[in-house]
Structure 1
Amino acid sequence: MPFLFFCLTVRAQFEKAETDFGAVMQKFNAVGASVAVVKKGKIIYTHSFGLKDLERNIPLTDQDIFRIASISKSFSATSIMQLVEAGKLSLDNDFGDLVGFKIRNPKYPDQKITLRMALSHTSSLNDSQGYLNLDLINPDKNPNWAKCYNDYLPGTKFDYCNLNFNLIGTIIEKKSGERFDDYVKNHVLKPLGLYGGYCIDSLDSTRFVKLYEYNPNDRKFTPSPTAYAPRRTEIQHYVMGYSTPIFSPTGGMKISATDLARYMIMHMNYGKSNGVKIISKKSAKLMQTAVTNDEGYGFAIRSADNLIPGVKLKGHTGSAYGLYSTMFFNPKEKFGIVIITNGINATYTDDFPDFSRAAINSLYQNFIK
Structure 2
Amino acid sequence: MKKLTLTLIFLSIFINCFAQFEKTEAQITDLMKKMEVVGLAVAVVKDNQLIYQHSFGQKSIENNTTLTNTDIFRIASISKSFAATSIMQLAEAKKLSLDDDFGKLVGFKIRNPKYPETVITLRMVLSHTSSINDSQGYFNLDVINPAKNENWAKCYTDKAPGTSYLYCNLNFNMVGAVIERITGKRYDSYVKQHILSPLNLYGGYCVDSLDSQRFVPLYEYENKSFKLAEAAYAPRRQELSNYQLGHSTPVLSPTGGMKISAADLAKYMMMHMNYGKLGNTKIINKKSAKQMQMALSDEEGYGLALLNTTNVIDGVALTGHTGSAYGLYSAMFFDPKEKFGFVMITNGANGKMEKGFRAVTRETLGILYENLIKN
TM-score, normalised via structure 2 length? 0.97
The amino acid that maps onto 1:309 is D
Report the alpha carbon displacement of residue 165 of structure 1 after superposing the two structures with TM. Answer: 0.2
Q: Secondary structure at the match of 2:300?
A: coil
2:103 counterpart (69, 81, 96): 96
1:283 aligns with 2:285: no
Deviation at 1:346, TM superposition (A): 1.2
**Structure 1 residue 8 corresponds to structure 2 residue 40:** no
Task: Answer whether contact 2:312 2:361 (CA < 8 A) is retained.
Answer: no
1:133 equivalent to 2:162? Answer no
Partner of 1:316: 321
CA distance in 2, matches of 1:256, 1:77: 20
Kindly provide the CA deviation profile for residues 238-274 of structure 1, in whole angstroms up to 9, marking residues without a partner as x: 0011100000000000000000000000000000001
Question: What is the TM-score of this pair, normalised by structure 1?
Answer: 0.98
Identify unmatched segments of 5+ residues in structure 2.
1-6
Aligned equivalents of 1:178, 1:346: Cα separation in 2: 37
Q: Distance in 1 between matches of 2:259 and 2:312?
A: 25
What residue in structure 2 maps to residue 232 of structure 1?
237
Q: Deviations over 1:296-330 (max 9, x none)?
A: 00000010112222211000000000000000000
Q: Please give the alpha-carbon distance, in whole angstroms, between the structure 1 residues aligned to 2:159 and 2:13.
A: 59
Q: Does 1:299 align with 2:329?
A: no
Residue correspondence of structure 1 range 1-369 to structure 2 within 5 A: 1-2=7-8, 3-216=10-223, 219-369=224-374
CA-CA distance at 1:167 after TM superposition: 0.3
**AA aligned opposite 1:37:** V
Q: Which moved more, 1:6-15 or 1:106-115?
A: 6-15
Displacement of 1:166 = 0.3
The AA in structure 1 aligned to 2:335 is N
Which runs of 5 or more residues in structure 1 are unaligned?
none
CA distance in 2, matches of 1:87, 1:126: 29
Measure the CA separation in 2 of the matches of 1:7 and 1:303.
34
In structure 2, C-alpha distance between the alignment counterparts of 1:350 and 1:160, rounded to whole Å: 17
Cα offsets for 1:204-225 (capped at 9, x unmatched)? 0000000000112xx2100001
1:351 shift after superposition: 2.3
- Matched-pair contact (CA < 8 Å) for 2:80–2:172: yes
Helix, strand or coil at the partner of 2:197:
helix
Which letter maps to 1:259?
D
Question: What's the CA shift string for 1:60-115, capped at 9, x where partnerless?
Answer: 00000000000000000000000000000000100000000001000011110000
Separation in structure 1 between the aligned mates of residue 138 and residue 222 of structure 2, nearest angstrom: 25
Tell me how far apart the structure 1 counterparts of residues 24 and 273 of structure 2 sit (CA, whole Å).
Answer: 24
Corresponding residue of 2:4: none
**How far does the alpha carbon of each residue in 1:3-55 deviate from its partner, in whole angstroms, 9 at most, with x for none?**
55443332222111100111111110000000000001110000000010011
SS of residue matched to 1:64: coil
Query: What CA RMSD, in Å, does the superposition of the two structures yield over aligned residues?
Result: 0.9
Q: Percent identity?
A: 63
Q: SS in structure 1 opposite 2:160?
A: coil
* Paired residue type of 2:304: F
User: Structure 1: how far apart are the matches of 2:209 and 2:266?
Assistant: 21
Per-residue CA shift, 1:173-214, capped at 9, x if unaligned? Answer: 111111100000000000000000000000000000000001
Separation (CA, whole Å) in 2 of partners of 1:338 and 1:136: 34
- What is the identity, as a one-letter code, of the residue corresponding to 1:90? S
Listed one character per residue, the Cα deviations across residues 116-136 of structure 1 (whole Å, up to 9, x for unaligned) are 000000000000010001010
Secondary structure of the 1:319 match is: strand
For 1:57, the aligned partner's letter is: N
Give the C-alpha shift of residue 168 in structure 1. Answer: 0.2
Kept in 1: contact 2:218–2:326 (CA 8 A): yes
> 2: distance between equivalents of 1:12 and 1:115?
49
Where 1:35 maps in the other structure, the secondary structure is: strand
Query: How far apart are the structure 2 equivalents of 1:269 and 1:9?
Result: 28
The answer to which of 4-13 and 279-288 deviates more is: 4-13
SS at match of 2:128: coil
Give 2:3's aligned residue.
none
Return the alpha-carbon distance in structure 2 between the equivalents of residues 301 and 4 of structure 1. Answer: 39
What is the distance in 1 between the residues matched to 2:214 and 2:58?
Answer: 13
